Amino acid sequence: MPDDNPKTELLDELENGPWPSFVKEVKLAAQTSASAQDLLRQLELSYQEKKGHWKHGGLVGVLGYGGGVIGRYSDAGEQFPNVAHFHTIRVNQPAGWFYTSDALRTICDIWERHGSGLTNMHGSTGDLILLGTRTAELEPTFQELAQAGFDLGGSGSSFRTPSCCVGMARCEWACYDAMKLCYDLTMAYQDEMHRPPFPYKFKLKCAACPNDCVAAIARADLSIIGTWKDEIQVDESAVKTYVSSGLNIQKDVCDLCPTKCMAWDGHKLSIENHECVRCMHCINVMPQALRPGKERGAVIMIGGKAPIMQGALLSSVLIPFVAADELLDTVKELLRRIWDFWDEYGNNRERIGELIQRVGLPAFLDGIGLEPVPEMISAPRDNPYIFYQARKDGEK
């Protein structure tokens, strides 16, 4: 181990203050890792110069896989030879980010042998990220991980590592088993995850209720958002308990219901369930009194993404309701059709949401064989530019 301690005046400042410090973490790693030391040094330089020092992404990986590793080289490799290569390995996290202490230690041990000793718990997509190693270490790291039961996640134009909320494991509102669905889909598409087959990345996230604790709607090409079809389950006496312990049910619940479909007459809460849009607010406020209905499943939404390149998209409704026990089959069939269409018509680096924008939702629905339903839209078109389908002359 090199023993000259990096000089990091600017970074040292970030060890002050109450929030846990990432600088402290890098320094900890630097006790046993030369690359963590050089990382500190290079980062200090970036702080001085207000400029990053990484070169444009590399293309490295493990045999038989087309993704799972983000190649990275320093543009100051001579100055900081231990981060001249500093590739990141994306490890597919266990669904719900549950671990045992042993599992964590196993990962630590492998990473101590092969990399910088730094991790992200977790990456924004959901992967467990092993931050920084050399090309030669990739294959050994990968195989040791595999022996320990871990595999790589996605990168590039692949099916990206799906993620899910904690769902049934520890949440009373889960309308379907998000962790199981996430796991099953991950297993079903190992090939698509590891050998990028698509025009661009494809992300999938499972949130077991409309609170969407995994931000699926904003970030996933396919979002599976739990919901229910029947009536909110009400425990009258618990409602009264909330009220008597100070909840202003009119103001804090009824008035904030987006469709105003709840009424409180001072004694009884009534809900016009067919007006309820399943927003969760009332349930969130009174978890002990209200619960999602019993006929549970999910709404399937499509097309969420960040701004590049035609602007960010929020996901939009594709199937308004799929019963919980039909989710796996339905999603698989749906993915097959969506990917076929995308494969056929998608441009290079065009996310599915952008493709739908480009060809129009009606054409996309035709392509994947879904009937249009009004739940897919917030309102019908307001422009009269209708592509009436071709009629032959004389025909009606």
Chain residues that interact with ligand SF4, rule: CB under 6 A: 165-167, 171, 173-174, 207-209, 211-213, 226, 257-259, 261-262, 271, 276-283
Q: Which of 8, 82, 125, 186 binds ligand SRM (CB under 6 A)?
A: 125
Helix (H, G, I), strand (E, B) or coil at 73: strand
CB of 244 to ligand SRM, least distance (A): 21
Q: Which is nearer to another protein, 3 or 84 (CB)?
A: 84
Q: Note if the bond before 281 is cis, omega within 30 degrees.
A: no
Based on CB atoms, which residue is closest to a copy of itself, 100 or 383?
Answer: 383
Peptide bond into 309 cis (omega under 30): yes
Size of the site for a copy of itself (CB under 8 A): 7
Q: Does 382 bind a copy of itself (CB under 8 A)?
A: yes
- Decide which of another protein, ligand SF4, ligand SRM, none touches 262; Cβ closer than 5 to 8 Å per partner kind: ligand SF4
Task: Provide DSSP, 292-310.
Answer: --SSEEEEEEE--B-STTT
Instruction: Evaluate whether 54 touches 75 at the Cβ level (below 8 Å).
Output: yes
The length of the chain in residues reads: 396
In sequence order, which residues have a C-beta less than 8 Å from that of residue 271 and are 6 or more positions away?
231, 232, 234, 261, 262, 282
Window 37-76: contact mask with a copy of itself (x via CB under 8 A): ----------------------------------------
In terms of Cβ atoms closer than 10 Å to its own Cβ (0-12, 13-18, 19+), residue 274 is exposed
# residues contacting another protein (CB under 8 A): 197
Q: Does 307 bind a copy of itself (CB under 8 A)?
A: yes
Per CB under 6 A, the segment of 100-108, 109-117, 159-167, 357-365 that binds ligand SRM is 159-167
Beta strands in 303-374 (DSSP E): 316-323
The CA distances from residue 230 to 133, 194, 239, 295, in Å, are 52, 40, 20, 6
Contact 327, 298 (CB under 8 A): yes
**Of a copy of itself, ligand SF4, another protein, none, which one sits near residue 120, judging by CB under 5 to 8 A according to partner kind?**
another protein
User: How is the beta sheet containing 69-70 ordered, strand by strand?
Assistant: 69-70, 87-91, 128-133
- 336-345 long-range contacts, Cβ below 8 Å, gap at least 24? 337/367, 337/368, 337/369, 338/222, 338/302, 338/368, 339/192, 339/198, 339/202, 340/368, 341/367, 341/368, 342/198, 342/199, 342/202, 343/197, 343/198, 343/199
Q: Which of 7, 136, 270, 288 binds another protein (CB under 8 A)?
A: 288
Contacts of 368 (CB under 8 A, 6+ apart): 334, 337, 338, 340, 341
Report the partner that residue 234 touches, choosing among ligand SRM, another protein, ligand SF4, none (CB closer than 5 to 8 A by kind): none
Give the DSSP H or E segment for 262: strand 262-264
Asked if 247 is part of the footprint of ligand SRM (rule: CB under 6 A), the reply reads no
Position 173, amino acid: W
Whichever of 19 and 388 has its CB closer to ligand SF4, that residue is 388
Selected binder of a copy of itself within 383, 386, 388, 393 (CB under 8 A): 383
CB of 366 to ligand SF4, least distance (A): 20
Q: What is the nearest approach in angstroms of ligand SRM to the Cβ of residue 395?
A: 28
Closer residue to ligand SF4 (CB): 115 or 123: 123
Under the binding rule (CB under 6 A), the answer on residue 351 touching ligand SRM is yes
Half-sphere exposure of 57 (CA within 13 A, CB side): 8
Of these, 79, 234, 241, 321, which contacts another protein (CB under 8 A)?
321
To a copy of itself, the closest distance from the beta carbon of 382 in angstroms equals 7
CB of 85 to a copy of itself, least distance (A): 31
- Give contact residues for ligand SRM (rule: CB under 6 A): 57, 70, 72, 88, 90, 120, 122-127, 129, 153, 161, 165-166, 171-173, 203, 211-213, 215, 219, 284, 305-308, 351
